[in-house]
């Protein structure tokens, strides 16, 4: 749960710091703690006992997290026995309930069982893993690829393995948390630059020893803002200052580039990007992630990336699902075309209503509320009206930039989009977001 003490909401959502649960304050007539029986409170858990933000939002009836879905992730889902239009999923191609993908997963279980019982490094490498790695390398036009069990592990494992003592890693301030975590875990110096600000990036590069190792890591499509990194200018700076480039294509695979192959393809910059990362939990309808690069770099990561070496390998069913989803994506290009038609319809409709969508260029449409409580209220009211969306608050976005994240799928129908626009208009006027 993000911290909920920002601006005008301080008095409502402040984390309780006054003595209450979990403190050693002695009330009148009580024995001192030292005289009581039973275990003493552990200081480690003070932060746990003093965490009040989630309960405060629950008490207001606005808590928007961990909503339970009892159906497949599709354009419509079932929540509390009620059908709701899903506009909060990352399933851009709408493949999570595709019969061919489900059959592929079932067949993999029949052949390989349900798990690998070990890491890729030891007993967990299956032929299906190698086949998928080869297919992914072909997709993004790199020599080799390597699977990880989650997308978070890819960024954590690759950055921490490549950026060592004396090296520098530079990241956009809007990069995903997994990139930030990888940068912080690495032994190198972590440098951040302003969002998509190439002058800011260059000013940082100018201060670094030209002979030092440097890695620039960016999202291709930024997961909250929905905008695209200006890769040509970034790669020009990388070449000028002798830095390597890694692009996180979690939200770009299946969305931009030739056949949905991502950001480097979109700009024709594949040769200028040394590392391409992607995940399987968005367009590719499964779980896990990959890194693609030259064969020598992939071999190095196989033997030095701790999250890979010390984690169980990707399950057979997940790997088979990705391979089937990849085949469908490549054989049915009309899915990506439909995704973009849906995006245009929703984007134009929201703008016509008067909503601020920022600088979005993709099927991720941020509806800016710029107020924590307004974002929670908008999410709650839309849910009541039959539309599932996600509120995005600090630390995912800076305080004052709170938004509702709308994401389109290829399988949304025009009537579903129009239904959502009608509800956005109704609730937006009700909450004073629209005039």
Which DSSP string do the residues of 196-225 spell out, in sequence order? T-HHHHHHHHHTS-TTS-EEEEEESB-TTT
- The two domains 67-94+333-430 and 99-328 share their CATH topology (first three levels equal): no
Catalytic residues: 223, 251, 282
Look at residue 276 and give its three-state secondary structure: strand
Q: Check if the beta carbon of residue 433 is closer than 8 Å to that of residue 426.
A: no
Length of the chain: 435
Residues linked to residue 257 through DSSP beta bridges, in sequence order: none
pLDDT of residue 27: 55
- pLDDT in the model for residue 396: 87
**Domain extents for the chain?**
1-26+41-63, 67-94+333-430, 99-328
What value does the CA radius of gyration of the chain take, rounded to a whole number of Å? 24
Q: Which residues pair with 217 in a beta bridge?
A: 171, 246
What is the pLDDT, as a whole number, of residue 13? 40
How is domain 99-328 classified at the architecture level of CATH?
3-Layer(aba) Sandwich (3.40)
Rounded-to-integer distance, Cα 231 and Cα 235, Å: 6
Q: Which residue has the tokens 């196989």?
A: 302
User: Within 13 Å, how many C-alpha atoms sit on residue 213's CB side?
Assistant: 14
Cα–Cα dist 283/285, whole Å:
6
The reply to whether omega before 395 is within 30° of 0 (cis) is: yes
Q: What is the CATH number of domain 67-94+333-430?
A: 3.90.1150.10
Q: What is the pLDDT of residue 228?
A: 98
By DSSP bridging, strand 289-293 and strand 144-148 are antiparallel
**Using CA atoms, how far apart are residues 368 and 82, in angstroms rounded to an integer?**
27
Average pLDDT of the chain, as a whole number: 92
Quick: pLDDT tens for 228-241.
999 999 999 999 99
Evaluate whether 375 touches 389 at the Cβ level (below 8 Å): no
**pLDDT given for residue 32 in this prediction:** 57
pLDDT of residue 21: 36
CA distance 31 to 217: 56
Mark the ranges of the chain whose per-residue pLDDT is less than 70. Answer: 1-37
Q: What is the pTM of this model?
A: 0.90
Q: Which residue has the tokens 């159906």?
A: 71
What does the pLDDT read at residue 415? 98
């Amino acid at each position: 749960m993000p911290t909920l003490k920002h601006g005008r909401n301080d008095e409502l959502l402040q984390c309780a710091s006054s003595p209450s649960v979990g403190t050693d304050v002695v009330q009148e007539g009580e024995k001192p703690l030292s005289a009581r029986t039973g275990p003493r409170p552990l200081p480690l858990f003070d932060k746990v006992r003093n965490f009040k933000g989630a309960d405060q939002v629950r008490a207001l009836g606005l808590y928007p997290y961990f909503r339970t879905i009892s159906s497949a992730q599709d354009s419509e889902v079932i929540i509390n026995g009620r059908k709701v239009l899903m506009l909060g999923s990352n399933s851009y191609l709408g493949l999570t309930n595709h019969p061919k993908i489900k059959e592929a997963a079932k067949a993999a279980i029949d052949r390989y069982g349900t798990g690998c019982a070990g890491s890729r490094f030891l007993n967990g490498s299956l032929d299906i893993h190698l086949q998928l790695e080869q297919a992914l390398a072909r997709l993004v036009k790199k020599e080799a690829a390597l699977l990880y069990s989650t997308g978070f592990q890819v960024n954590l494992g690759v950055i921490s393995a490549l950026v060592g003592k004396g090296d520098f890693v530079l990241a956009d301030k809007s990069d995903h948390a997994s990139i930030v975590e990888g940068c912080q875990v690495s032994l190198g110096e972590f440098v951040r630059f302003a969002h998509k600000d190439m002058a800011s990036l260059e000013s940082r590069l100018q201060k670094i020893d030209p002979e030092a190792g440097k890695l620039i890591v960016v999202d291709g499509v930024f997961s909250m803002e929905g905008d695209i990194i200006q890769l040509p200018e970034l790669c020009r700076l990388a070449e000028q200052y002798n830095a390597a480039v890694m692009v996180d294509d979690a939200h770009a695979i299946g969305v931009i580039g030739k056949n949905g192959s991502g950001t480097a393809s979109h700009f024709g910059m594949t040769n200028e990007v040394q590392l391409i990362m992607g995940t399987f939990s968005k367009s590719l309808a499964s779980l896990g992630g990959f890194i693609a690069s030259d064969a020598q770099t992939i071999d190095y990561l196989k033997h030095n990336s701790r999250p890979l070496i010390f984690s169980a390998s990707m399950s057979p069913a997940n790997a088979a699902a990705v391979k089937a989803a990849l085949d469908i994506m490549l054989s049915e290009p009309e899915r990506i075309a439909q995704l973009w038609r849906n995006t245009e319809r929703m984007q134009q409709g929201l703008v016509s209503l008067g909503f601020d969508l920022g600088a979005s260029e993709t099927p991720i449409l941020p509806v800016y509320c710029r107020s924590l409580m307004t974002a929670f209220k908008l999410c709650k009211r839309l849910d009541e009206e039959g539309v599932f969306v996600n509120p995005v608050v600090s630390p995912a976005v800076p305080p004052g930039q709170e938004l509702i994240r709308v994401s389109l799928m290829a399988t949304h129908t025009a009537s579903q989009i129009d239904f959502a626009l009608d509800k956005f208009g109704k609730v937006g006027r009700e909450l004073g977001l629209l005039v």
